[in-house]
């Protein structure tokens, strides 16, 4: 009887659903474009950083007259995504901050529309 109970306990434990992976934080900029930027932010030890703020000022349109300030925080997995960036804009300079630690990344959407950044804040 003990063997059957132990076997059932092991089977039910083996069938327990795995922890779902949280989806990355997504900001839909809706600036009329199809470009995007994916970020993975880690600290010096390689640990994902939760709630690191990613800020960018987008200057687009004729002579860069249109402007938009965008900001998003990373999820518990250190990931964030910005979608809907314009295909034609001045180079984008992303500032990533968490408390007193900083990093930056640059994207020229005319050369690389779909960018991926692995950022270490120090």
- Please state the domain extents for the chain: 24-120
Q: What is the pLDDT of residue 64?
A: 74
Report the DSSP pairing between strands 25-28 and 79-85.
parallel
Q: Indicate the pTM of the whole model.
A: 0.80
Evaluate if residue 115 carries a pLDDT over 60.
yes
Judge whether residue 14 has pLDDT over 80: no
* 26, 105 contact by CB (below 8 A): no
Class of the CATH-defined domain 24-120: mainly beta
| pLDDT for residue 62 | 83
Q: Please classify residue 20 by burial: count the beta carbons closer than 10 Å to its beta carbon, then call 0-12 exposed, 13-18 middle and 19+ buried.
A: exposed
């Amino acid at each position: 009887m003990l063997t059957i109970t132990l076997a059932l306990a092991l089977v039910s434990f083996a069938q327990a659903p795995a922890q779902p992976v949280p989806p990355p934080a997504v900001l839909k900029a809706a600036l009329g474009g199809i470009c995007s930027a994916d970020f993975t932010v880690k600290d010096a030890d390689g640990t994902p950083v939760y709630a690191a703020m990613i800020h960018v000022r987008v200057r687009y349109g004729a002579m860069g007259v249109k402007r938009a300030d965008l900001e998003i925080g990373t999820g518990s997995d250190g990931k964030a995504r910005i979608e809907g960036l314009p295909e034609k804009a001045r180079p984008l300079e992303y500032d990533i901050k968490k408390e007193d630690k900083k990093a930056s990344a640059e994207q020229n959407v005319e050369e690389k529309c779909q960018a991926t950044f692995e950022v270490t804040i120090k």
